[in-house]
Structure formats: structure tokens, C-alpha cells
Amino acid sequence: MSLLSDLISLNLSDCTEKVIAEYIWIGGSGMDMRSKARTLSGPVNNPSKLPTWNYDGSSTNQAPGEDSEVILYPQAIFKDPFRGGKNILVMCDAYTPGGVPIPTNKRCAAAKIFSHPDVAVEETWYGLEQEYTLLQKDVKWPLGWPVGGFPGPQGPYYCGIGADKAFGRDIVDAHYKACLYAGINVSGINGEVMPGQWEFQVGPSVGISAADELWVARYILERITEVAGVVLSFDPKPIQGDWNGAGAHTNYSTKSMRSEGGYEVIKKAIEKLGLRHKEHIAAYGEGNERRLTGRHETADINTFKWGVANRGASIRVGRDTEKAGKGYFEDRRPASNMDPYVVTSMIAETTILWKP
């Protein structure tokens, strides 16, 4: 091995009790992820035991230069797959020095919804399907595509294998293992319909932990693409034309839906989602109108409909759920660049707390 890789691989536990904590937060665009590291005197397993920290919010478009300090509150801890050992990744949210959540902090409002007694008792489960596209670094064109040109039409790429069908599998598998190492409940991966596009799934996870896990999984993925020299895109329609877009289908159930008679609870929840369709669409990701066209396994953005096993619907109910009379449903509207704090908490709020 080279000297550089030898040093990166050093096991700190051989010589010190100190550990490295990488603090992660969401930047000013609402999608850019930032992080920086600090040394701790020893291992920490509880985020409440971690110190708060600050950063220059004027450099992330989150604060003015004359009052630039933003405070990071640690919220969730994961094992660090890059440094290994007892080192950790720390998902944080951001506040003013006075303790007020800054506008891009969507976690704080989500935590209030999930801590509501009526929501907490329902033990909301989420399965989040994160689609993404890998791009060639210098030309920002999908991985495996001829520069300035197009591959063969869609058909052979979904869950495909082979050098002419699957592009970037080493990145995908590295990410899969790194997430499992970190303690993220990744349940699977697959190649998507458009070549150069992939998906990973997080869940089932309960309440706000689903969003924490998805954000850290996104962070790990972008760190891996950084090493690989590939650009990661969460654009919901990276290539115009007869190519699938990228979504973040959100599977959801409550304790009542998973119990006997749950199918009726599911139908009532879907009815409420339909009544708030416009509000949900507005919160489900920027540029989603380019994806939700009624083609390529989507429902038109202005139309709400649901169906059993219908991938052209806004809400899909699985055959197994219909047969069992209980289970879960899938909201197919969220875009790949959605904020999981917003989407998961809004679904819970609409289906449990909102009164039509």
C-alpha cells in the first residue's frame, strides 16, 4: 500500500482513547450536505452526550456575514465506515445562537409531529426508496452513456447485469456495505430503468429515524462518489425525453393499518391524502413537475388517484395488502430530491392528525 493509504487506515484505538466525530448537516439549498470533524476524548453512543458546535452560516447561505454563527445540535449517531474503529458520523440540525431552528432545519418541526401522542402510539413505519443518477464528472452526462449521445432505449437496464447494461455497480455495492456498517437499515439496492440510475431502500424504520437514516445514507453515497470521481445527482428528471425520472417512493404504515381491519384504515388515509394533494405536491421536491407527467410509471402531477398494484397511480397499494386486509401503501409522488423530514412527517400529520 502507499504511504497515504497506510495513514488513512491507521487504527487509532491502538494508541489512544480519542475518537473522531464527523458532524453532518444540511446546507442552504436544502439538498447540499456539509460536514466537518472534531476530536472527542473518548467513545460516545448517545447524541445528548455530544457537544454542540458551530459553523459559518454565511458560507452555506444560511446566515448573514454580520451574524454568521449557526449552532449544530447532534441528533443521531452512526458508525463511520470511512475511518472505522470507534469513530462516528453525527447527524445534526441547525439553530440560531438563541436556539431557534433556522429555515432550512426541517427536522425540528418533524420531531414535534412524531412526538405527538397520537402519532407516537401509531408507531409509524417508513420504507424509503431513494433513486439517484451517477454522472460522468467532467461532462455531467450519465455514467455509461456515450458523451453527447444516447444508449439504446430503456428495457434491458432495470436490474440488468453486464458491462453494457449496469454502470457504477462498484459504487452501489460499496455504498450498500458502508450503510450496513454504519447501522443504517438499508434493505436493498437495484439498478433502475434508465441506465446510470440506481436505487437503494431504507427501512422499515420508525418515525423520524427513517429520515435521519436516509440523510446519512445520502451523505455516505456522496462521499463514495467523491472518491470514485463520479458526480451524484438527485435531479428528478436528469434527462429529458423518453427516459424515466428519479423518485423517492415512500412506503408507509401505522399500527392500525398493520392490524386486523387495517385495509379500511388505509383507504381512509388515502382519501385524506387526496384532499391535501396540492399541499403534498408542493412539499415533495423541486422540479417534480418534470417527472410527474403521467408517463414513465407516474401519475400526472395535477391528478390524484390510487390503485392496487398500479405504478401509474399517485398511491399504490400492494396485492399482498389487499389480500391480507392490512399492511401498508406506497406514496409514489415524492421526487428524488425530497426532504425526508418533510415528507415523512407530512404523511403522518395528514393521515393521523389532520381533520378534514
Q: pLDDT band for position 208 (50/70/90)?
A: very high
Closest alpha carbon to 209 in 124, 336, 106: 124
Note whether 343 and 286 are within 8 A (CB): no
What b/e sequence results for 6-25 when a residue is b if at least 16 CB atoms lie within 10 Å of its CB, and e otherwise?
eeeeeebeeeeeebbbbbbb
What mean pLDDT comes out for the span 163-187?
A: 98
Residue 148 has pLDDT above 90, yes or no: no
The stretch 296-322 carries a mean pLDDT of 93
The average pLDDT across 55-66 equals 94
pLDDT band at 321 (very low <50, low <70, confident <90, very high): very high
CB 228 within 8 A of CB 327: no
* Residue 222 φ/ψ, nearest 5 degrees: -70, -30
Residue pLDDT, tens place only, 221-257:
999 999 999 999 999 999 999 999 999 999 999 999 9
In angstroms, the CA 78 to CA 206 distance is 16
203 vs 199: CA distance, rounded Å: 13
325-to-92, 122, 329, 350 alpha-carbon distances in Å? 39, 18, 12, 22
| Mean predicted confidence (pLDDT) in 189-211 | 97
pLDDT at 149: 94
Query: Average pLDDT of the chain?
Result: 96
Select from 279, 247, 260 the least CA-distant residue to 345.
279
CA distances from 91 to 43, 112, 224, 288 (A): 16, 18, 18, 26
User: Residue 309's pLDDT band (boundaries 50, 70, 90)?
Assistant: confident
Per-residue pLDDT, averaged over 187-194, amounts to 97
pLDDT for residue 6: 87
Is residue 18 pLDDT above 60, yes or no?
Answer: yes
Q: What is the C-alpha to C-alpha distance for residues 147 and 164, in angstroms, rounded to an integer?
A: 15
Q: Is the pLDDT of residue 14 over 80?
A: yes
Q: What share of the chain is helix, strand, coil (3-state, %, to 5)?
A: 30, 25, 45
Q: Which amino acid is at 212?
A: D
Buried b (16+ CB within 10 A) or exposed e, 331-352: bbbbbbbbbbbbbbbbbbbbbb
Which has more pLDDT, 4 or 124?
A: 124
Q: How confident is the model at residue 46 (pLDDT cuts 50, 70, 90)?
A: very high
pLDDT at site 182: 98
Is the pLDDT at 1 greater than 60? The verdict is no
Q: Tell me: pLDDT of 43 over 70.
A: yes
Q: How confident is the model at residue 185 (pLDDT cuts 50, 70, 90)?
A: very high
Gap between the Cα atoms of 196 and 166, Å rounded: 7
CB 31 within 8 A of CB 337: yes
Mean pLDDT of 202-228: 98
Strand partners of residue 352: none
